[in-house]
Every structure is written in structure tokens, then in C-alpha cells.
Amino acid sequence: MKRRCGWIPLALQTPERVVWARNNAATTVCPKAFITAQSMTWLEEYLVRRKLGQRGIEGMGAREVEAFVILEHELAELNGGVSAGRLGGDTARRRKNA
């Protein structure tokens, strides 16, 4: 019950407290409950494309591109503002300035 996992009904009856935090994000319930199957699919595909050095957005849907841009932005923040640049051009910088 330490992490207040949402799939355990009794856990949500415990006193609310921060159970996970990183940089400027925090949650009072287990963050695993916030990750959807689609989010995991995008994350896995992004990591595979990055590992294989695939660039560009040709053939990708708009939601997939948006998910990848968000991942690029978050990685850039974790790396001190340096973009991984796998989507081509300055996509992560444009997202940050938007």
C-alpha cells in the first residue's frame, strides 16, 4: 500500500502523499496507472526508431508525431536542453517554443 496503486481499491483509502516525483512532476498514486497501452506502444516504437537511427516523420500519423515530439522535448530537458534530434531538424526546439 506504500505506492497507493489505483488497481488496489483499499490503497486509495490511505492518506494521500507523494509516492513518485521527478524534476517538476509528482503524483500521489502509482504512476503506472496513468500509462495507457497506446502510450506504451508509442514509447516502445520511439525507442526502437531511436536505437536504429531512423529519422523523419514520413508515413507517421499526426498523433504519433506529436507523441514523438513530446518524447524528444522531455529527453532534451533531461539532457540539459540538448535535443536528441532523431525526428529531423529542430522539431524538439519548435515544440519547446510553442
What is the average pLDDT value for the chain, to the nearest integer?
Answer: 76
Res 33: pLDDT: 61
Confidence of residue 44 (pLDDT cuts 50, 70, 90): very high
40 burial type by CB count under 10 A (0-12 exposed, 13-18 middle, 19+ buried): exposed
CB neighbourhood size of 48 (10 A): 10
Res 6: pLDDT: 62
pLDDT digits (tens, 9 = 90+) for 70-95: 888 888 888 887 665 555 544 444 44
pTM: 0.55
What average pLDDT does the segment 38-59 reach? 89
